A and B are shown apart, each in its own frame.
Chain A
Amino acid sequence: MLDSVQTITMKRKINGRVEELQVYPMARLLDVLREKLGLTGTKEGCGEGECGACAVMVNGELVNSCLIPIAQVGGSEITTIEGVATDDQLHAVQEAFIKFGGAQCGACTPGMVLAAVDLLQRVPNPSEEQIRAGLAGNLCRCTGYMKIFEAVVQTCNGKL
């Protein structure tokens, strides 16, 4: 039974703040973020690492938080969608998503924004092929991806 499972105390740096958590070691990072920390911007789309709606950054690397047991990210620095904008200042990628129609229903958007931020950190001026490859782990059912590609391109061009 679940209540026989021991919880553990862990420290994580999440969106720049150190959080001490009492968690089950096998709890999914996704559930810890959403339920323990109230960071509900990270979405569950499929629960099996296919859709990318739950994408977050762990130590600067894009991962699907539905596949990560919390015990696996000990001492890590985690960035969720809530940590992408600073105070009132949206990230350039977020501005571009609004301006160029990259967000429709908003369910894939947090993961997609993180994937785009991650891509531009790795490849500042990606080719079309690199954009497609960089975002291929994030499914979007609304946009057909065209406006998302455009948002990424326009972010690089600084046309905001």
Chain B
Amino acid sequence: MKDVVGDSVPRKEGRDKVTGQAIFVDDFVLPGMMYGVTIRSPVARGRLGKISFGGDIPWEQFTVVKAADIPGENYVALIFNDQPFLADKVVNHAEEPILLLAHPDKYLLEEARRHVRIDVEPLAPLFSLEDSLHRKEIIWGKDNIFKSYRLEKGNIDDVWQRAAAIVEGEYTTGAQEQLYIEPNGMIALAGKEEGVTVWGSMQCPYYVHRALMTLFGLPEDKVRVIQLETGGGFGGKEEYPSMIAGHAALLAWKSGKPVKIIYDRAEDMVATTKRHPSVTRHRTAIDKEGRLLGMEVDFTIDGGAYATLSSVVLSRGTIHATGPYFCPNVRVSSRAVATNFPPHGAFRGFGAPQSIFALERHMDKVARAVNLSSEEFRRRNFIGEGETTATCQTIKEKVDLNHLMERAFELSGYYDKRKAFADRNKESQLKKGIGFSVFMHGAGFTGSGERYLKSVVAVEATEDGRVRVLTSSIEMGQGTKTVLSQIAAQALGLPYESVDVAGADTAAVPNSGPTVASRTCMVVGKLVESAAIGLTQTLVGCGLLKSEYTPAEFQQACRTYLEKFGPLKSVSQYQPPPEIYWNDDSFSGDAYGTYAWAVYVAEVTVDMVTFQTRVDDFVAVQEVGKVIHPTLAMGQIEGGVAQGIGYALYEDVVWREGRMANSQMTNYIMPTAADVPPIRVYFEEVPYRYGPFGAKGLGELPIDGPAPAIVNAIESATGASINHVPLTPEILMKALEESREKTEPRA
């Protein structure tokens, strides 16, 4: 039989999606359903006063929920449990939920929402990392710090005297909105007898499950969470859906009716999480051969008002801060701090795009300082097999970054273009440039994460001779159902068509962990493979199947088993691969089971009249282990690159008094079909021994590389050394005018 793995089979839910039959949360209706809305804080920080219900509104028809109505604990269970479902005495960010309303008529509900007045006595807010670090106000814990890490390797304090050169730099990144096309939403049904059931758009059904258990004080079996078709997530539906599910469930609990909450675009953008803004400072010591002697990195991210996932985002950003280079002496100090912005949260890349932007801009700067080309300086410092990372993880896989880089250069015509552009830029208003970045992305949870998660997957045989994969890992566009079916089919020697993936319903599927961290294919896929093999082993063990079999024999054996013994199900739980160990206390060891490695090249044109930058060509070369589904894998890379282009050039979150001022698609600009360059994707496949059929994770990788590659290209085009994204035309104009004033002082 033809291999299923490696073949671009049709995606499982493709037909439903192209015909509009796929059911998303806003398409789902329950009889007698009411609509819910959230009344939010008008200010960034303050003490809550009187709430008044005005206007010509029949308030007696409304269900109103306040913090005092919460039956269990008033916090979103996650890591630090500091974020309330409904603010009680104080508010800590603009748009923080305070009160909930429900009514069957959504138009009247909207009218009512405008007539709730909340008095807030304002307190001084913190809107900058500096103010937070200087403890201008204490807004969280003792010192405004959610979490800090210190990563040490060798002895960094010794290197500075020995260094041939020392190069410093500071790099900053702004917030970024995930901007999934389907806004967030949930529907809930709740009652004291039957418990709580929610349906909605989400990445992590068991996060929502746990949050609802805590909110209502209910046991596991009284809470049920069902994922509906999810229209994009990118991390934006990792933690915040727990909040919305809780709100819908509180209204349903109080009213006794089903309640639907759907955010419109503006609410989704002002209230839900974004990528953490960051500041990174580098101090790098280089020896006279152009080799890295020491890297000292200081990395700070803005967590917003509550801790949410900031500690975990910080750890990934910290570990990726020194990139794919070998350096004997390293110190990375990092911290996530509190401000009065809405909490920043999960977004594809999870801290790595920020620290990699800083690093890959800095590497270009260091190269110039030591009179080496960007490529030669990197070449001298690439990490290789047998060498150790900043966390003292020994690289045990074949990694050839120089080969990836040369391939990317060949495909992009890098050397020729670099030269040609330098010549033609002299006499043109349109300056062309080419730049690149080299980076890696760890797949799966950081450090001990997978050990603690202990994910479980099941594979079962059904009466009609089909195989079904049971997992809480959800489909949100990336192709979970397709890829997991391919892995099960390949493991069982069955056609792809005879495998299904069950819907993610916590009453029916085990907890295979959240759908995040590039872990679905690599970690969950491996569990699917093991569980599938367990199915065959059971059948062979019972004498119903020979070790060599046809699909028809397999199906017959399943039917016989079901008739004779009842349900046939095989369960697999995560076991850490041998030889992989992480020390939480010293923050060292094997940070990830494996890494995907990449070199991205961006070609740009900068218009020196409008200061707009256009990306003309983009080459993405990466080593991602075995590619299970080439079309889906390319789709992940292309989508990630486009999102990275947005991060680099367009996507500017404008804050006004701690509130997103451009919360619309008309003024928060993402790339359109007219803006994207050809995105040319190339894979190299070095099988990972603990991944299913050799696969690694790849979903987050493509967001790490575009921003530094593009800004490096802009520098090569214009000479402007800008260390901030998004690099909007305004910033570029200012930088170029300032440098012009320096070189041509006015009379």
Give A contacts to B, CB under 8 Å. 1-2, 34, 39-48, 50-51, 53, 80-82, 84-85, 90, 94, 97-110, 113, 131-133, 135-149
The answer to whether B10 touches A107 (Cβ under 8 A) is no
Given that A101-B635, A142-B635 are known contacts, is A50 also in contact with B181, CB under 8 Å in the complex?
Answer: no
Give chain B nearest CB distance to A128 CB in angstroms.
9
Q: Secondary structure of the B side of the interface?
A: loop
A108 surroundings in chain B (CB, below 8 A): 181
7 CB-based A-B contacts, threshold 8 Å: A98-B14, A104-B232, A104-B479, A106-B17, A144-B638, A145-B638, A146-B638
Q: How many Å lie between the Cα of A146 and that of B676 in the bound state?
A: 9
The answer to whether A46 touches B23 (Cβ under 8 A) is no
CB < 8 Å neighbour of B674 from A51, A107, A136: A136
CB < 8 Å neighbour of B670 from A85, A100, A141: A141
What is the interface residue range for chain B against chain A? 35 or more
- Known contacts A41-B20, A101-B631, A147-B635; 11 further A-B pairs (Cβ under 8 A): A40-B26, A41-B19, A43-B24, A90-B19, A103-B14, A105-B180, A105-B182, A138-B673, A143-B642, A144-B635, A149-B673
| Chain A CB within 8 A of B108 CB | yes
| Chain A CB within 8 A of B534 CB | no
| Chain A CB within 8 A of B153 CB | no
Given that A103-B14, A105-B477, A139-B672 are known contacts, is A82 also in contact with B20, CB under 8 Å in the complex?
Answer: yes
B181 surroundings in chain A (CB, below 8 A): 43, 45, 51, 53, 105, 107-108, 139-142
Q: How many Å lie between the Cα of A84 and that of B19 in the bound state?
A: 8
The answer to whether A133 touches B674 (Cβ under 8 A) is yes
Given that A40-B20, A138-B673 are known contacts, is A107 also in contact with B664, CB under 8 Å in the complex?
Answer: no
The answer to whether A144 touches B665 (Cβ under 8 A) is no
Q: Identify the interface centre among B105, B476, B477, B678: most chain A CB within 10 Å of its CB.
A: B477
The answer to whether A141 touches B234 (Cβ under 8 A) is yes
A102 surroundings in chain B (CB, below 8 A): 18
Q: Of all chain A residues, which has the CB nearest B640?
A: A144
The answer to whether A104 touches B634 (Cβ under 8 A) is no
Q: How many Å lie between the Cα of A99 and that of B9 in the bound state?
A: 8
CB < 8 Å neighbour of B15 from A44, A98, A135, A139: A98
Q: How many Å lie between the Cα of A148 and that of B17 in the bound state?
A: 14
CB < 8 Å neighbour of A90 from B15, B479, B679: B15
Q: Of all chain B residues, which has the CB nearest A149?
A: B673
**What 10 A-B pairs come out closest when comparing CB atoms?**
A41-B20, A107-B231, A105-B477, A106-B17, A144-B642, A104-B477, A144-B638, A81-B20, A40-B27, A107-B181
The answer to whether B108 touches A144 (Cβ under 8 A) is no
Given that A139-B181, A143-B638 are known contacts, is A46 also in contact with B13, CB under 8 Å in the complex?
Answer: no
| Chain A CB within 8 A of B478 CB | yes
Question: Which residues, 653 to 689 on B, are CB-close (under 8 Å) to A?
Answer: 664-666, 670-674, 676, 678-679
Q: How many Å lie between the Cα of A137 and that of B643 in the bound state?
A: 17
The answer to whether A136 touches B265 (Cβ under 8 A) is no
Q: How many Å lie between the Cα of A57 and that of B26 in the bound state?
A: 22
0/1 per residue, B16-60, Cβ < 8 Å to A?
111111111011000000000000000000000000000010000
B15 surroundings in chain A (CB, below 8 A): 90, 98
CB < 8 Å neighbour of A106 from B13, B264, B635, B664: B13
Q: Of all chain A residues, which has the CB nearest B234?
A: A141
A136 surroundings in chain B (CB, below 8 A): 672-674
Q: How many Å lie between the Cα of A45 and that of B263 in the bound state?
A: 10
Q: How many Å lie between the Cα of A81 and that of B183 in the bound state?
A: 20
Q: How many Å lie between the Cα of A80 and that of B233 in the bound state?
A: 25
Given that A107-B180, A132-B674, A145-B673 are known contacts, is A45 also in contact with B635, CB under 8 Å in the complex?
Answer: no
Q: Of all chain B residues, which has the CB nearest A106?
A: B17
Q: How many Å lie between the Cα of A46 and that of B667 in the bound state?
A: 12
The answer to whether B265 touches A106 (Cβ under 8 A) is no
| Chain A CB within 8 A of B107 CB | yes
Question: Which residues, 619 to 638 on B, are CB-close (under 8 Å) to A?
Answer: 631-632, 634-635, 638
Give chain A nearest CB distance to B385 CB in angstroms.
32
The answer to whether A2 touches B107 (Cβ under 8 A) is yes
Given that A106-B17, A106-B22, A107-B182 are known contacts, is A147 also in contact with B674, CB under 8 Å in the complex?
Answer: no
The answer to whether A46 touches B634 (Cβ under 8 A) is no
| Chain A CB within 8 A of B639 CB | yes
The answer to whether B232 touches A107 (Cβ under 8 A) is yes
A46 surroundings in chain B (CB, below 8 A): 265, 664-666
